[in-house]
């Protein structure tokens, strides 16, 4: 038991990635010769470009995206593209009463409803956490790799539907990409994702203690009202201030949270003694006792519950992606475009 308290401090650092000797060896060898650099630890531009075909069936404009398949137990309707008032017409059964034109109704004595015309574009903004804690996985691919693949798929899907794509990437520093439309907007995004997610560079720097909150505060400068915002993180940086930032963003935008998870955060490893290190500090994880495994599980369960409670309180849909997931398949199940979905939306 004497190792339990030090372990949690070490575990937070363990999520930062490789041991120090791995970093030193990597910096003195070529990328191709270094076994630490592979498709599970680092993305390539070619890989992200090929995701364009898989993104064609992702529909980010679905009205029912926040229902059933998203965690949190609440329904969240995306605002969709920005809407401009076009004209008023006589009310018809099934019209949304929230769109009633009360002035025309009072003047004519007959109920009228407002009609709106969709704007051609709607900003989609990706906020991607690339702090050292995201460069961890016990199996599959690093959280950072999964997050980047998801961000790229969303970017391609947004461009395919005529939306502009912007981003805020934070990895100790903040890199802002104002929304830009078309293929060039996505290529600019994925180029920065590849550049800013280099594990050998990111793991040299300790995480910023308020990185997530600072990023959310800056996100308001990148996203204009009416944007669709995706937050991709493991959300270990949340605190009392996080809810305030999210509430301000949520007031004028649609927000979707994507939480990155690893198997070791869902259940403890088999009973044994494990040496853990972040390359700077070392510790011992002892899971041989039932009490130790319970403490371990409680730590992560409390974190996951805190994330779910925060998002639920703000009506923010929460998706969870595992380091073992097929990212395209997981997003497809939540944003798939099918005739059945289209019929449901037309009736909604």
pLDDT attached to residue 29: 39
Region 253-261: what's the mean pLDDT?
Answer: 96
pLDDT attached to residue 35: 62
Residues counted in the chain = 348
Region 135-144: what's the mean pLDDT?
Answer: 92
Concatenate the DSSP letters of all residues of 101-169 into one string.
-HHHHHHHSS-EEEEEEE-S--EEEEEEE-SGGGS--SSSS-HHHHHHHHHHHHHHHHHHTT-EEEEEE
pLDDT score of 34 more than 80 = no
Region 328-348: what's the mean pLDDT?
Answer: 60
**Which two tokens mark 135?**
């460069």
pLDDT attached to residue 88: 86
- What tens digit of pLDDT does each residue of 226-244 get? 899 999 999 998 999 999 9
What's the chain's average pLDDT?
80
pLDDT attached to residue 93: 77
How far apart are alpha carbons 96 and 80 in whole angstroms? 15
Tell me the three-class secondary structure of the chain, residue by residue.
Answer: CCCHHHHHHHHHHHCCCCCHHHHHHHHCCCCCCCCCCCCCCCCCHHHHHHHHHHHHHECCCCCCCCCCCCECCCCCCCCCCCEEEEEEEECCCCCCHHHECHHHHHHHCCCEEEEEEECCCCEEEEEEECCHHHCCCCCCCCHHHHHHHHHHHHHHHHHHCCCEEEEEEECCCEEEEEEECHHHHHHHHHHHHHHHCCHHHHCCCCCCCCHHHHHHHHHHHHCCCCCEEEEEECCCCCCHHHHHHHHHHHHHCEEEEEEEECHHHCCCCCCCEEEEECCCCEEEEECCCHHHHHHHHHHHHHHHHHHHHHHHHCCCCEEEEECCCCHHHHHHHHHECCHHHHHHHHHC
pLDDT attached to residue 118: 53
pLDDT band of residue 33 (cuts 50, 70, 90) is low
Among the listed residues 335, 328, 52, the one whose alpha carbon sits nearest the alpha carbon of residue 185: 52
pTM value is: 0.75
pLDDT band of residue 279 (cuts 50, 70, 90) is low
pLDDT attached to residue 273: 92
pLDDT band of residue 188 (cuts 50, 70, 90) is very high
Residue pair 236/307 in contact (Cβ under 8 Å)? The answer is no
Percentage of the chain surpassing pLDDT 90?
51
- Of 23 and 81, which is predicted with more confidence? 81
pLDDT band of residue 78 (cuts 50, 70, 90) is low
- What tens digit of pLDDT does each residue of 189-237 get? 999 999 999 888 877 766 666 679 999 999 988 888 889 999 999 999 8
Region 321-348: what's the mean pLDDT?
Answer: 69
**What domains can be seen in the chain, in order of their start residue?**
4-78+120-347 (3.40.50.410), 85-118 (no CATH)
């Amino acid at each position: 038991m004497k190792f339990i308290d030090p372990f949690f401090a070490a575990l937070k650092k363990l999520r930062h990635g490789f041991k120090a000797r791995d970093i030193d060896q990597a910096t003195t060898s070529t990328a191709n010769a270094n076994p630490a650099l592979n498709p599970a630890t680092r993305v390539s531009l070619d890989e992200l470009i090929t995701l364009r075909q898989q993104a064609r069936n992702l529909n980010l404009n679905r009205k029912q995206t926040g229902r059933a398949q998203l965690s949190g137990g609440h329904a969240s309707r995306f605002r969709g593209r920005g809407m401009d008032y076009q004209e008023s017409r006589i009310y018809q059964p099934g019209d949304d009463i929230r769109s009633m034109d009360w002035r025309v109704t009072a003047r004519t004595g007959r109920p009228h409803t407002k009609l709106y015309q969709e704007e051609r574009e709607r900003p989609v903004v990706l906020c991607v956490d690339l702090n050292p804690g995201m460069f961890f996985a016990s199996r599959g691919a690093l959280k950072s790799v999964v997050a980047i693949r998801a961000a790229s798929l969303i970017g391609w899907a947004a461009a395919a539907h005529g939306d502009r794509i912007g981003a805020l990437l934070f990895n100790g520093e903040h890199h802002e990409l104002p929304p830009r439309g078309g293929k060039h907007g996505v290529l600019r995004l994925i180029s920065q994702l590849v550049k800013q997610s280099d594990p050998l560079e990111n793991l040299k720097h300790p995480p910023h203690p308020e990185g997530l909150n600072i990023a959310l505060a800056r996100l308001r400068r990148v996203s204009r009202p009416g944007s669709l915002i995706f937050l991709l993180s493991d959300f270990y940086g949340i605190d009392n201030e996080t809810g305030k930032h999210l509430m301000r963003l949520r007031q004028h935008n649609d927000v979707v949270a994507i939480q990155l998870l690893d198997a070791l955060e869902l259940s403890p490893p088999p009973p044994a003694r494990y040496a853990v290190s972040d390359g700077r500090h070392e510790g011992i994880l002892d899971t041989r006792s039932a009490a130790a495994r319970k403490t371990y599980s409680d730590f992560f369960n409390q974190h996951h519950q805190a994330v779910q409670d925060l998002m639920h309180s703000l009506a923010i849909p929460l998706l969870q992606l595992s380091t073992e997931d097929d990212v395209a398949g997981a997003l497809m199940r939540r944003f798939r475009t099918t005739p059945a979905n289209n019929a449901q939306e037309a009736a909604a």
